[in-house]
A and B are shown apart, each in its own frame.
Chain A
């Protein structure tokens, strides 16, 4: 039995709590982006693109048993860092768990600006799309 969505969110909050200034926090985020498991090129298709204004984000989802498994990628490394956290939190959970998730960690680690409605990235759409997949698989 894996960790619950909230247990993973708490882990992330703890990890980011180690950093005092923004630069360290962002270096960690960039590092997470670099370490994101590579997405299979076969899934980097037009249909999997989440339209953001500035950087492209690809998202693929499949059901493995009862669980939804996500793969994603982006051209921009900071977005990739955010994606990496979203996947860590939401992937490998049931559709019901994903649909019920309250992603409070983003605000707690001081990254909510990346979900602001500035058309600057596709993260808001990515979260919605992850939930759409969960709904489709439920």
Chain B
């Protein structure tokens, strides 16, 4: 029997959840856009600025040492969280998008040439499409796309047919932000490796929901953002295999990333600092450490069970609404429900639900190629976290029905 979570106790840890929006209690179902922050993260931020603020790595005074230790401790926690072989392979970025651009501009620039190919999927967020288009255009390479089924599942047979020695990189998400599909990344990675291609996995939507072991999965590159894992905005992580990271040229030049600078030539610092030019986002990285502690203290089986139960309950209730169609019905998905309703524009639903104090996302979810595939202008997306409740789903469904009456 899986332990169940004490949701009231968990909710008490998230100050933002306890407020009225438009005179109704806030229901926050936009967790795929960003998760809320536990008090521990907010406290870590203010404690850092109140007690330890200093620039890191070079200062020899006490505050600099404290700040450096706390900053590097988050890197250690991340290495453990991902089961990375060493802390040197954890690079801090500003977010998932920055991590993908870093790999595109360094690995991509060094390894993709004229006539080569990069594979992405039809499920990708724009941030895992555009950086590859930019490098492909610059190098005269081609972008190939893994098609997606009506249910939202990637076509692995089509993927196999796309693979050939010209493919230098495969970039896919672990979980689709728009419709919640969990992609078979074990298979995607091993198939790519058979033709010598490297793989970047966009973990933005997976890290809050699924355990990730970068060694067991044989990940080449894995990127994600802290703010979708209960941490602050402005921090991202790039994990890479050591040989790949070492062979990649530096990205941005500046302080911190150098070993020695002279006008006759500059030598670069070692990993991970080679890719961390300039003063980093110290406070948010440190507070991210508090988020990792928080989320890892919750029994992962109970967390997964809560999210699965929320997904099943909401799916069942939403399907009873006449004219409502769920977009993305993959057998393997996280607690995200994208839906459309006959004759109603998603934006109208979003505007009115907000008046009921309910936050969902409407639109194309920065996945226009997927919307084009389904011939939709957009969807409504409700995305859950473990702090959401069944009562919230009940009220959401009730308010959605009222919304449809108003629009009817």
Which positions in A face B, CB cutoff 8 Å?
22-23, 26-27, 30, 53-56, 75-79, 114, 120-121
Contacts and interface: CB of A to CB of B under 8 A. Distances in A.
B352 interface: yes
B347 A30 contact: no
A70 B346 CA distance: 26
A54 B363 CA distance: 5
A115 to B, nearest CB: 13
Contact of A26 (B352, B364, B378): B352
Nearest to A56: B377
A4 B85 CA distance: 73
B345 A77 contact: yes
B295 interface: no
**Which bucket holds chain B's interface residue count?**
10 to 19
A77 B406 CA distance: 11
Given A27-B406, A54-B378, A55-B377, A78 B363 contact: no
B351 A78 contact: yes
B377 A75 contact: yes
Contacts of B406: 23, 26-27, 30
Contacts of B346: 54
A30 B407 contact: yes
Contacts of A56: 377
A54 B22 CA distance: 22
Given A75-B345, A79-B347, A54 B362 contact: yes
B348 interface: yes
A76 B347 contact: yes
B407 A120 contact: no
A76 B348 contact: yes
Contacts of A54: 346-347, 350, 362-364, 377-378
A120 B351 CA distance: 10
A106 B187 CA distance: 54
A79 B407 CA distance: 12
Contact of B355 (A23, A53, A76): A23
A76 B363 CA distance: 12
B351 A53 contact: no
Contacts, number: 43
B355 A26 contact: yes
Contact of B347 (A22, A23, A26, A120): A120
Contacts of B22: 22
Q: Which of B348, B364, B402, B406 has the most A CB atoms < 10 Å from its CB?
A: B348
A36 B340 CA distance: 24
Interface in B335-369: 345-348, 350-352, 355, 362-364
A121 B352 contact: no
Nearest to A22: B355
Contacts of B362: 54
Nearest to A33: B348
A53 B371 CA distance: 13
Given A54-B377, A78-B352, 14 more contacts: A22-B355, A23-B355, A23-B406, A26-B352, A53-B364, A54-B363, A54-B364, A55-B377, A75-B345, A76-B345, A76-B348, A78-B348, A79-B347, A120-B350
Nearest to B345: A76
7 contacts: A54-B346, A54-B362, A55-B345, A56-B377, A75-B377, A76-B345, A120-B363
Contacts of A75: 345, 377
Given A54-B363, A55-B345, A120-B347, A77 B355 contact: no
Interface in B349-408: 350-352, 355, 362-364, 377-378, 402, 406-407
A85 to B, nearest CB: 15
B363 A77 contact: no
A79 B402 CA distance: 19
Contacts of A79: 347
A27 B407 CA distance: 8
Contacts of B378: 54
Contacts of B351: 78, 114
A22 to B, nearest CB: 5
Q: Which of B346, B347, B402, B406 has the most A CB atoms < 10 Å from its CB?
A: B347
A53 B366 CA distance: 10
A108 B352 CA distance: 19
Nearest to B408: A30
Q: Which of A22, A53, A76, A120 has the most B CB atoms < 10 Å from its CB?
A: A76
A109 to B, nearest CB: 14
A114 B377 CA distance: 20
Nearest to A75: B345
Contacts of A23: 355, 402, 406
A121 B347 contact: yes
A53 B378 CA distance: 10
Interface string B188-215: 0000000000000000000000000000
Considering the complex of A and B, which 3 residue pairs feature the smallest CB-CB distances, nearest first?
A76-B345, A76-B347, A54-B347
Contact of B348 (A22, A27, A53, A77): A77
